[in-house]
Structure 1
Amino acid sequence: MMLHVCLLVTALALALAGSAAAQERLVSLPAPEGISLFERASEKAGFWPLMATFVSQNTQSYCGIASSVMALNALGVSPPPAPLWYPYPHWDQTNIFTLAVLQVKAANSVEAEGLTVAELARVLVASGARAKPVFAGDTDLAAFRAAARQVLANPAAVLLVNYFRATLGQGEGGHISPAAAYNAEADSFLLLDVARYKYKPTWIPADLLFAAMNTVDPSSHKTRGYVVVRK
């Protein structure tokens, strides 16, 4: 019994140490280093369109919905009427639940479970965009980096990333947010976290971000990954 407790304590200590080490590698965008990374970013064509449409998720499980709304607005995909904004065309976290999207996943199910990578892509397609999901387990860091850089250099495309927060030292649970820039010198990606009440936009090293994506989503029993979105 005592040995079992000791092993659990040791495992917890190692996990906490790994979490702290991961957190130390993250750089907040508003920090001087974060600003410098942005100024020297090699790919950031989609940053301003996304910033112009930046929203916080309405509920703690609406990260995929908020990220989709940002992508659709940034790319100029025609939205259905939004009661709160009519007659101005605008996607929000209510009008995105059209009949086509509800057939992908009901709003109450999204609120309870969130979205998987595959469901995220299907929601975007049902909303009129083109979306290609990629599972981290089907690729590698080098291929992800190359694909992501192409997207981030193109203002007509958006990269949405699904990752496991614990790998980044940010607590537990899966999360989805848009990536908005890449700095080749630091080999880091800028994520615009839609949980703005918890985390500011943050630079994340590519290897750490890929490791966070290359984790199993218990809802799909597949690895997390990313979605490339185009109009």
Structure 2
Amino acid sequence: MKPVPKAQPSFYKRPLPEGCISFSSADGRAIFREALSGGTMEGFFSLIEQFHTQAEPAFCGLGTLIMVLNALAIDPGRAWKGPWRWYAEEHLDCCRPLDAVARDGITLTQFACLARCNGTRTNTHFAESSSVEVFRKAIRDATSRPGETHLVVAYDRATLGQTGSGHFSPIGGMHADRDIVLLLDVARFKYPPHWVPIETLFRAMLPIDQASGRSRGFMTIEREHPVAPVTALRDDADWTEIEHFLRDLDGTDVLVLAGCLQAGVSPAPRLLEILRGSGDVPASLQGQVERLRAQVSALQDASRPPSGVATRDD
């Protein structure tokens, strides 16, 4: 008789620790009403329309990003189900293979790569090089605009008294007088949306992420392109699309394209062949293309975390 496999333990939610205020509690709702009248919940509605539960335990970064991409109304350029184009985690494969993300999660730099691949302009702040004052101002600026800018935080759950380690969440708004923010936690199977003090959240970004060797941090995200530039890497892409993607190539975009190549996006080798050998490459782009060729290998290595190091634990 075969031995019966040992059952894996399972959990139904976690209680919020002291200092975190549930959004649906009486206090949480009162805070929301006051923050709404104070004008610092402007991005809440476009985000809440897209509130999403991450599809895998280590997909907090991907789940957070698709919320923001859909809230910004960016067309992924690829079908989701049937004829419908819509962001889901499986679309975010341009910087790291999805199986690696499902195993280890992503770092803040890899999150920025994914965001840029998919038509956004980002501004990344590592907590170790920033301050709570800069963080507070970024929150106020983002939450005072009607859905034009969203702010994402990468933080250590343990500092908030929560279980787990690294996590990503979008910020849904702030209450300026109480100096707290609303985290729209995409691990909805674990914690509900909740309010946390800004200073505590900043401290939660300071611990070093072992996968990157840097602190965690925060990022503002705005729409730059109405259609994801990574669609220029499709099999049916033409030079016009590719040229548009490379027109403003800078160091960050080089990392984005290198990440696309690392992830093995189907036509990437053909794209490089076009860039290296086609006489149709505009003269104005020749120097940038050469720089891309020189940097791709190093950037691929830099964006790959050490083997066996998990970056997310939800």
**What's the TM-score once normalised by structure 2's chain length?**
0.63
Partner of 1:229: 221
Counterpart CA distance in 1 for 2:57 and 2:176 is: 32
Aligned to 1:16: none
* Contact 1:163–1:213 (Cα < 8 Å) also in 2: yes
Spell out, residue by residue over 1:58-84, the C-alpha distance to the aligned partner (whole angstroms, 9 max, x if none): 101000001110000000111122342
* Residue 212 of structure 1: aligned partner: 204
For the pair 1:166 / 2:163, whether they are aligned, the reply is no
Q: Partners of 2:219 and 2:102 in 1: how far apart?
A: 20
Superposed, 1:1-80 pairs within 5 Å as 23-41=17-35, 42=38, 43-80=40-77
- Answer whether contact 1:161 1:178 (CA < 8 A) is retained: yes
Q: Is the 8 A contact 1:82 1:92 kept in 2?
A: no
Deviations 1:132-159 (A, max 9, x none): 2110011111111011110111211111
Cross-structure match for 1:148: 139
**C-alpha contact 2:80 2:87 (8 A) present in aligned 1:** no
Deviation per CA, 1:107-133: give whole Å up to 9, x if none: 111111111111101101011111121
The answer to whether the Cα contact below 8 Å between 1:141 and 1:210 also exists between their aligned partners in 2 is yes
Q: Does residue 81 of structure 1 match 2:69?
A: no
- In the alignment, residue 219 of structure 1 is paired with which amino acid? A
Q: Which runs of 5+ in 1 are unaligned?
A: 1-19
Give per-residue Cα distances to partners, 1:184-230, cap 9 Å, x unaligned. Answer: 12100000000000000000001110010111111101000011110
Distance 1:83 1:175 in 2: 25
What is the identity, as a one-letter code, of the residue corresponding to 2:62?
A: I
CA contact (8 A) 1:46 1:181 kept: yes
Once the two structures are TM-superposed, the CA of residue 34 in structure 1 deviates from its matched residue by 0.3
CA separation in 2, counterparts of 1:188 and 1:169?
16
State the distance in 1 between where 2:92 and 2:134 align.
31
Aligned pair partner of 2:186 in 190, 194, 198? 194
Residues 21 and 194 in structure 2, CA contact (< 8 A), matched pair in contact too: yes
Aligned residues: 205
Higher Cα Rg: structure 1 or 2?
A: 2
Q: CA deviation at 1:89?
A: 2.7
Cα distance, 1:88 vs. partner?
2.6
Q: Tell which has more relative contact order, 1 or 2 (C-alpha 8 A, sep 6+).
A: 1
SS at match of 2:85: coil
Q: Does 1:130 align with 2:124?
A: no
SS of residue paired to 2:91:
coil
Alignment match, 1:92: 88
Gaps of 5+ in 2: 1-14, 224-314
1:26 is displaced (CA, Å) by 1.0
CA RMSD of aligned residues (A): 1.4
- Secondary structure, aligned partner of 1:123: helix
TM-score, scaled to structure 1: 0.85
**What is the SS of the residue equivalent to 2:125?**
strand
Please state if 1:121 is matched with 2:117: no
AA of the residue aligned to 1:91: Y
